[in-house]
Amino acid sequence: MEGLVYKSTGSWYLIKDQTNKVWQARIKGKLKIGGTISSTNPIAVGDHVSFEPENETQAIIANVNERNNYIVRVSPHNKNQKHIIASNIDLALVVATLRSPRTSTGFIDRFLLTAEAYHIPAAVVINKTDLVTDKDRTAFEEWQQCYTRVGYPVYPIVALEPASLQPLKTLLQHKTTLFIGHSGVGKSTLINQLIPDIALKTTEISEWSGKGQHTTTFAEMHDLPDGGRIIDTPGVKEFGLIDIEKEELAHYFPEMKQRMSTCKFNNCLHLNEPGCAIIEALHRGEIAIERYVNYRTILDSIPAKY
Ligand SMILES: Nc1nc2c(ncn2[C@@H]2O[C@H](COP(=O)(O)OP(=O)(O)O)[C@@H](O)[C@H]2O)c(=O)[nH]1
Ligand SMILES: [Mg+2]
Ligand SMILES: [Zn+2]
């Protein structure tokens, strides 16, 4: 039988078959996996699998179909290993907030470039816009302008106000969408609005401000009432970069990728090389300074090859 993985706890998997029947499944013996990625988790949310029923509700997974795509992060347990967050994704959304808590643009940019690297379309949701004060108004407008300009649609919302969610609902229809965001940005609140009978637990600000919570929680997929699915990933604090070399990094910033072929040197890292098209565009105000600063910070964090 064929099924789709909705949840993984590491040893058990929750699968839905074509009739929407739910199975509790596990792996036994050797698993056949399409493709060649090695990761700490052999099966991820979003995987299409074949399975053999053991009884009315339990099953054994025999085979994982080849993935259209997947998105990984550094394994929380081992920095040198990949952990697949989810697979077969149509859209990746970062849920960000200007305050309570403030999401750094560094986090957003790391997320966006990871989506680029894995060829997954991405968009930015700015939640808690009801809390935007005069002090963050400029930053709010800059985020909207900056991300829209480089090709990422921006959706400002108030998760608790259904009327603000209409454009986002239209976007999500009939897609499998991955939600990423720091703990406390309102992902569960948003998902509760999108799927009225789901009743996910939300966390009061006073509770999540303590460190060390949500360290080992797992991604879970949910069906949307009007078609489509969303994948909730609790507690992603940091997006580790995997397998990206310094020379490649600018390819994953669309505004740089588009211009870098006119740099004088073809191995230009866009630092201070003569004839650098990126630096020139930066001086003309065509590339956002914050995006460039984040590029530099991420570049510094990538170890040199030798
Ligand atoms: N003011 C305001 N608070 C929100 C909004 N969305 C969520 N919250 C609150 O933020 C807190 C964390 O929300 P939660 O959904 O648990 O965040 P998660 O960790 O991303 O799942 C809760 O107290 C929510 O009520 C919003 O749009 N505006
Ligand atoms: Mg949550
Ligand atoms: Zn350059």
Question: pLDDT tens across 209-263, in order?
Answer: 444 344 446 789 999 999 999 999 876 766 666 678 999 999 999 999 999 999 9
Determine the pLDDT at residue 140: 96
Q: Whose CA is nearest to atom 16 of ligand 1?
A: 202
Q: Ligand 1: residues whose CB is within 6 Å?
A: 127-128, 130-131, 158-160, 181, 183-189, 202-205
Taking residues 90-115, report their average pLDDT.
Answer: 95
Counting ligands in written order, the one closest to the CA of 282 is: 3
| Residue among 28, 19, 24, 21 nearest 7 (CA) | 24
pTM of the entire structure? 0.91
Give CA–CA dist 5/49, Å, rounded.
7
Predicted confidence at residue 216, as pLDDT, reads: 44
Pocket-testing residue among 202, 208, 236, ligand 1, by greatest number of atoms within 8 A of Cβ: 202
What CATH number should be reported for the domain whose range is 72-232? 3.40.50.300
Distance from the CA of 184 to the center of ligand 1, in angstroms?
A: 6
What ligand is nearest to the CA atom of residue 249? 3
Distance 239 CA to ligand 1 centre (A): 21
Q: Which class is 2-67 in CATH?
A: mainly beta
Ligand 1 atom 3 nearest Cα: 128
Does residue 283 sit in helix, strand or coil? helix
Q: Say if CB 94 and CB 117 are below 8 A apart.
A: no
State the architecture of 246-301 in CATH terms.
Answer: Orthogonal Bundle (1.10)
Name the band, by pLDDT with cuts 50, 70 and 90, for residue 292. Answer: very high
Predicted local confidence at residue 211, as pLDDT: 41
Q: How many residues does the chain have?
A: 306
CA 190 – ligand 2 centroid, Å: 9
The DSSP line for 1-41 is -EEEEEEE-SS-EEEEETT--EEEEEEEEEEEESS----S-
Query: How far apart (Å, rounded) are the C-alpha atoms in residues 193 and 211?
Result: 27
Q: Where are the domains of the chain?
A: 2-67, 72-232, 246-301
**Residue 204: what pLDDT?**
60
Ligand 1 atom nearest the C-alpha of 100 is 10
